[in-house]
Amino acid sequence: MWALRIRWWEGAILIVAGTLALLFFIGESWVPGLVLTALSTLGFAWRAEIPERNEAGGYARTRSVLLSVQWLAIFALYILIVVGFFVMWLEHWTRDRHGKVAFYALAGLAFFLVRECNRLASESNDWWNGSDMERQVGNLLDELRGEGWSVAHDLPKDRGGNIDHYVRGPGGAFAIETKSGRDRAGARGQAVSNAVWAQKKFGERWVTGILCVATDPPAKPTKHGHCWVVGTADLLPLLRGGGHL
């Protein structure tokens, strides 16, 4: 889950920034050291690439953690700005023009950071909930291995993105997209697109696209065009039935 990749030149920049931060700390220049540490952490969490590892929910959970690290780094910068406001007030910086410019510039940056923290918190929560759903579905699908099915999770696609789950067995081949939310047309389209890619990639005669939702699933599996929409309780019966009920 925690295997991450970063380009060599990005790693070199982060090492230099980290070294400078350490030198600032050694010289007891705490604020520059903290700023560089926060920026280095933010840069790593922003640029790190997550390799697919055939682990249900692994990509989504790691993405959630990286977003949380970004949130932590940005929040640290926000705290430093708040401390800066306190220093400005004590030192009466706003009594001259230069101090006022610095104050309002920091106020604008603080507003941006608060908005970014809110966005990252929401996005991280969505990825975490999505990973829980993928794990739940992955555990169900792993039961099929004993019945002669091949099961793959977080299957990377050639041009980016992934298929949450791909299974092939006596009932046929299926590309399964999981969502912790409700049935959406965009998610159904994604499931069909994944099925088309898998069909071409693995030379299958047909791959059925399935959208498995956690919120308000249909009372029974429902077909929309070329995509089935199901809840977790109906997923395995649908697969064992070959995509027919």
pLDDT tens-digit series, residues 150-202 = 999 999 888 888 999 999 999 899 999 999 988 999 999 999 999 999 999 99
pLDDT one-digit tens code per residue, 81-131 = 999 998 888 888 888 888 888 889 999 999 999 999 999 999 999 999 999
Q: State residue 179 phi and psi, 5-degree precision.
A: -135, 135
Structure tokens at 146: 């004993």
Structure tokens at 111: 């507003």
Q: Residue 54 has what pLDDT?
A: 83
Rounded Cα distance between 117 and 73, Å, is 9
For the cut 70, the answer to whether the pLDDT of residue 219 exceeds it is yes
Judge contact between 151 and 76, C-beta under 8 A: no
Rounded Cα distance between 189 and 177, Å, is 10
Task: Please say whether the structural domain 139-240 has been given the CATH code 3.40.1350.
Answer: yes
Which pLDDT band holds residue 243 (cuts at 50, 70, 90)? Answer: low
Q: Residue 244 has what pLDDT?
A: 61
pLDDT one-digit tens code per residue, 7-35 = 999 999 999 999 999 999 999 999 999 99
Rounded Cα distance between 132 and 210, Å, is 18
For the cut 70, the answer to whether the pLDDT of residue 1 exceeds it is no
Residue type, 168: R
The residue extents of the domains of the chain are 8-127, 139-240
For the cut 90, the answer to whether the pLDDT of residue 211 exceeds it is yes
The whole-model pTM stands at 0.87
Judge contact between 215 and 181, C-beta under 8 A: yes
